[in-house]
């Protein structure tokens, strides 16, 4: 079983942190919400999230991968350009249905036997210079 740490901080976009946790846990991975800013994390929309662990209490060698939940950047005045870097890839075996569009535009329900998980880091760059 894969073990993944999902890092949260004060101001994390709730959906960008909770969604990977939900998907990974449903897929059978052991997934910890790890806080870098205290046991209770307040997200960008005021939703409180309770961390499973604190960053200072974990050992990185205990994890197969890490997801970094993006913080809300809407308050910044600089242009944000997301860059995605894949840090972990693995298939998880579990039967599930997907809908595949055929040549005529109709959707067919297809049984798949595994899902492919891609863990990526959202690296954000911007202009850090300020005008005086």
* Sign for the pseudo-dihedral over CA of 64, 30, 89, 91: positive
pLDDT for residue 76: 40
pLDDT for residue 71: 64
Q: For residue 40, is pLDDT > 50?
A: yes
Token representation of residue 59: 């050992």
Average pLDDT over residues 30-45: 89
The reported pTM is: 0.56
Q: For residue 126, is pLDDT > 50?
A: no
Whole-angstrom CA distances from 45 to 10, 17, 24, 41 are 11, 13, 23, 11
CB 42 within 8 A of CB 35: no
81 or 16, greater pLDDT: 16
Whole-angstrom CA distances from 54 to 44, 50, 126 are 19, 10, 29
pLDDT for residue 82: 45
Selection from 69, 91, 86 nearest residue 2 by Cα: 91
Q: Does domain 3-87+120-125 match CATH 3.40.50.880?
A: yes
Percentage of the chain beyond pLDDT 70 is 67
pLDDT for residue 95: 75
Least confident of 11-15, 20-24, 36-40, 87-91: 87-91
Residue 7 phi/psi, 5-degree rounding, is -85, 130
Q: For residue 29, is pLDDT > 80?
A: yes
């Amino acid at each position: 079983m894969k073990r993944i740490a999902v890092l949260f901080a004060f101001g994390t976009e709730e959906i960008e942190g909770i969604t990977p946790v939900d998907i990974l846990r449903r897929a059978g991975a052991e997934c910890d919400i790890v806080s870098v800013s205290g046991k209770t994390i307040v997200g960008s929309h005021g939703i409180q999230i309770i961390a499973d662990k604190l960053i200072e209490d974990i050992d990185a060698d205990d994890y197969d991968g890490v997801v970094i939940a993006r913080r809300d950047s809407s308050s910044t005045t600089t242009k944000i350009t997301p860059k995605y870097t894949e840090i972990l890839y693995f298939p998880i075996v579990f039967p599930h249905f997907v809908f595949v569009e055929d040549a005529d535009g109709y959707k067919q329900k297809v049984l798949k036997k595994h899902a492919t998980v891609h863990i990526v880091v959202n690296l954000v760059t911007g202009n850090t210079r300020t005008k005086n």
